[in-house]
């Protein structure tokens, strides 16, 4: 059991650790179909792809820039599984673009499904134009109009049962900052944007609390986000401390992945959302 002083030290260390959003991992029913949709409709690039027949799966990484500096998606295809349940807890990913109207028209022309036509955000005073589209597996992508940005893949939205608990958890365990908190009583939800830099310049975790809703289904489609850290062992120590206070669970003790030498640790947040911490230096080596 850690002493109070060493607990304090490791929690302070988290605030100075070098964190970054690396990728979001989720399952798709047809890898080629999703690659085609993301490259043609969203303008993503296929960054790497590998097939692991011994374990009966393949994966593909796509994004708007190299993994060394960008948040990307990691798609997993499990042999023979063509359909997944997305559940009620997963919200959406988001893509920032300079012209939502044009992007929506392009997506529609290529057969994409538009679930919310472009227009200003409802409720509140924001004039930001957004739209929602659905990918071939049913994952929702929010399209957000903003000026040129270094990180077009800009949100992962997850629903949570207690917003303040989640904010405290991601601040303390992951070193995120609360970038924005907004209550929207007309539509009965509150959201919090959590991240490591300004909302317009980086990927954020958008947490949504719907009034009175504390439980969601997780389904089996969305898997996790991966974050970079300089030290998975210290990160795991901090997570363990925060879990005692706020809930959650370590699902993989810190250490190298067998056969790959990349050091990781993983855990569930208080709502059961999975996060993987990946050693920053190992991750860069893996990309070479
Ligand atoms: Co959003």
Q: Which residues of 212-235 are buried (b: 16+ CB within 10 A; e: fewer)?
A: eeeebebeebbbbbbbbbebbebb
Q: Does 23 qualify as catalytic in the annotation? A: no
Query: Which residues, including other chains, have CB under 8 Å from residue 18's CB and lie 6 or more apart?
Result: 228, 229, 230, 280
| Residues facing residue 286 across a β-bridge | none
254 to 6, 14, 98, 132, 271: CA distances (angstroms):
18, 15, 41, 37, 21
What are the residues facing 182 on neighbouring strands?
Answer: 191
Residue 4: what pLDDT?
82
How far does residue 101's CA lie from ligand 1's centre (Å)? Answer: 17
> Residue 6 C-alpha to ligand 1 middle, in angstroms?
37
Q: What count of Cα atoms within 13 Å lies in the side-chain half-sphere of residue 176? A: 26
Residue 111, number of CB atoms within 10 A of its CB: 10
Low-confidence ranges of the chain (pLDDT < 70): 1-2, 123-125
Cα 48 to averaged position of ligand 1 atoms, centre (Å): 27
CA 144 to chain centre: 16
DSSP string, 204-265: EEEEEEETT-------SSEEEEEEEES-HHHHHHHHHHHHHHH--EEEEEEEEPTTT--EEE
Which backbone phi and psi does 72 adopt, to 5 degrees?
Answer: -135, 175
User: What's the 193 CA to ligand 1 centre distance in angstroms?
Assistant: 9
Give dist(CA 196, CA 191) in Å, integer: 17
Q: Which long-range contacts link 236-241 to residues 24+ away (Cβ below 8 Å)? A: 236/265, 236/267, 236/277, 237/2, 237/10, 238/10, 238/11, 238/13, 238/14, 238/172, 238/173, 239/173, 239/265, 239/267, 241/2, 241/7, 241/10, 241/11
**What pLDDT was estimated at residue 260?**
82
SS3 153: strand
CA-based nearest residue to 37, from 28, 49, 25:
28
Q: Is 155 a catalytic residue?
A: yes
Distance 77 CA to ligand 1 centre (A): 25
Residue pair 198/180 in contact by the 8 Å Cβ criterion:
no
- The CA 130 to ligand 1 mean position distance, Å, reads 9
Count of CA atoms in the C-beta half-sphere (13 A) of 13: 18
Which of these is catalytic: 151, 206, 224, 237?
206
Q: How far is the CA of 189 from the centre of ligand 1 (A)?
A: 13
| Catalytic residue selected from 19, 67, 92, 224 | 92
Q: Tell me the CA–centroid distance for residue 91 and ligand 1, in Å.
A: 8
User: For residue 124, what pLDDT is reported?
Assistant: 64
Could you tell me which of 101, 51, 103 has the C-alpha nearest to residue 78? Answer: 51
From CA 9, how far away is CA 7, in angstroms rounded? Answer: 5
Dump pLDDT digits (tens) for 38-67.
999 999 999 999 999 999 999 999 999 999
Among 23, 70, 155, 237, the active-site one is 155
Fold of 2-287: 2,3-Dihydroxybiphenyl 1,2-Dioxygenase; domain 1 (3.10.180)
Name the one residue in this structure whose structure tokens are 């303040």.
164
Which one of the listed residues 67, 74, 142, 237 is annotated catalytic?
142
CA 147 to ligand 1 center in whole angstroms:
17
Identify the H or E element spanning 4. Answer: helix 4-16
What separation in Å is there between the alpha carbon of 157 and the centre of ligand 1? Answer: 6
């Amino acid at each position: 059991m850690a002493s109070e002083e060493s607990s304090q030290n490791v929690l302070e260390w988290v605030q100075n650790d070098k964190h970054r959003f690396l990728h979001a991992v989720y399952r798709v029913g047809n890898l080629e179909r999703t690659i085609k949709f993301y490259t043609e409709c969203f303008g993503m690039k296929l960054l790497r792809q590998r097939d692991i027949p011994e374990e009966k799966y393949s994966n593909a990484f796509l994004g708007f820039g190299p993994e060394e500096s960008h948040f990307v998606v990691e798609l997993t295809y499990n042999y023979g599984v063509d359909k997944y349940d997305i559940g009620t807890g997963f919200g959406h990913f988001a893509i920032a673009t300079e012209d939502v109207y044009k992007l929506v028209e392009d997506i529609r022309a290529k057969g994409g499904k538009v679930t919310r036509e472009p227009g200003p955000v409802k409720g509140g005073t924001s004039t930001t134009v957004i739209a929602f589209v659905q990918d071939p597996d049913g994952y929702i992508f929010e399209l957000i109009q903003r000026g040129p940005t270094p990180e077009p893949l800009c949100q992962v939205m997850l629903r949570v049962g207690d917003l303040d608990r989640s904010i405290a958890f991601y601040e303390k365990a992951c070193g995120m900052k609360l970038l924005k908190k907004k209550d929207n009583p007309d539509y009965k939800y509150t959201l919090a944007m959590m991240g490591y830099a300004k909302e317009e310049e980086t990927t954020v975790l958008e947490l949504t609390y719907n009034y009175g809703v504390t439980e969601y289904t997780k389904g089996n489609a969305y898997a996790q986000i991966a974050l970079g850290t300089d030290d998975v062992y210290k990160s795991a120590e901090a997570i363990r401390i925060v879990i005692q206070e706020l809930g959650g669970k370590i699902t993989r003790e810190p250490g190298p992945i067998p056969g790959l030498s990349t050091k990781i640790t993983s855990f569930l947040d208080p709502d059961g959302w999975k996060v993987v911490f990946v050693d920053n230096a190992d991750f860069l080596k893996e990309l070479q």
